[in-house]
Amino acid sequence: MIRKAKITDLGAINTIFNQAVEARHQTAALNPITTEQRLQWYNDHDVDNYPLFVLEVDGQVIGWLSISKYRRGREALRQVAEVTYYLHKDFQGQGYGTMLVDHAVKIAPEFGFRVLVAILLGHNRRSIRLLQKFNFEEWGNLPRTVLIDGDLYDHCFYGLTLK
């Protein structure tokens, strides 16, 4: 079940995000986020206009999805949103990511978004295949700009124009 996130979900959201940090190939963040930082992130997130969702299976939050502002302060880009999603490491590769991205694509127009952008690491092939399943296309690539543990990776922008 996908539902709007609540403040009580922040522990699970943070655990899932920090797993991605530890994996070293799912995010450009290099350090785990503290509980205080996650609370600040939640408080700063305008959930009325930019929703935050969790995916629950058997009462456990196993993934989350955020639709966020793209380029704060740039009013001409108001109809563009960044989509971000993460899954608990024990639930990856089981179709749950598909559920999250499908939800984002369906719900985004209700919030006035015409374009979704996903920003990810070029070597995250699983996530790229997931986005391509929903007709996201590579709209930009900053080659060898992400430095993780001495290795350089591409920073890719995938986009989808909604109907």
Asked if residues 15 and 63 have their Cβ atoms less than 8 Å apart, the reply is no
pLDDT of residue 163: 79
Closest by Cα among 12, 8, 13, 30 to 21:
30
> H-helix or E-strand containing 118?
strand 115-121
Closest by Cα among 133, 80, 127 to 102:
133
Angle at 138 between CA 133 and CA 139, to 5 degrees: 135
The 10s digit of each residue's pLDDT in 57-86 is 999 999 999 999 999 899 999 999 999 999
The 10s digit of each residue's pLDDT in 134-163 is 999 999 999 999 999 999 999 999 999 997
| pLDDT confidence bin for 25, thresholds 50/70/90 | confident
> H-helix or E-strand containing 159?
strand 151-161
d(Cα 111, Cα 145) in Å, to the nearest integer? Answer: 32
The 10s digit of each residue's pLDDT in 28-43 is 999 999 999 999 999 9
Sheet-wide strand order for 60-69: 2-4, 52-57, 60-69, 80-87, 115-121, 151-161, 137-148
Q: What is the DSSP letter of 32?
A: P
d(Cα 34, Cα 114) in Å, to the nearest integer? Answer: 33
The 10s digit of each residue's pLDDT in 100-132 is 999 999 999 999 999 999 999 999 999 999 999
Strand partners, 155: 121, 142
Q: What is the pTM of this model?
A: 0.94
d(Cα 16, Cα 91) in Å, to the nearest integer? Answer: 11
Domains in the chain, start-ordered, CATH in brackets? Answer: 2-117 (3.40.630.30)
